[in-house]
Amino acid sequence: MEDLSQEEWQEQLADDNNAVILDVRTDAEVADGIIPNAIHLDIYKGQEFIEEIDKLDKTKNYYVYCRSGNRSGQACKLMEELGFENAYNLEGGMLQWTGEVVDQ
């Protein structure tokens, strides 16, 4: 897992042809907007979240975010334990996000 600043995350994501954006916030938080093309899996769903994460392609590069960067950091650690090679946590999460946001 690697923590990336907002700028590093956006730059690395823009150049990554193997990228998947993962939003681990709650449904209520996602209702306020989501980063374009993000997959939404709520980390608070516990075992269901783990099962959904485990179904994802482990060869992809995952750019993970939440509201503040805390839950997404936990998700990245969990993903590493499940065998994912590349999971990048967005420091500051949506609270500091200045990029595009779309309605879910």
Residues carrying an active site annotation: 66
Q: Enter the tokens of residue 47.
A: 């075992």
CB atoms under 10 Å from CB of 47, counted, come to 7
Q: Enter the tokens of residue 1.
A: 């897992």
Q: What is the DSSP string of 9-26?
A: HHHHHHT-TTEEEEE-S-
Comparing CA positions, the residue from 91, 57, 51, 49 lying closest to residue 73 is 91
Residue 68: what are its φ and ψ, rounded to 5°?
-125, -10
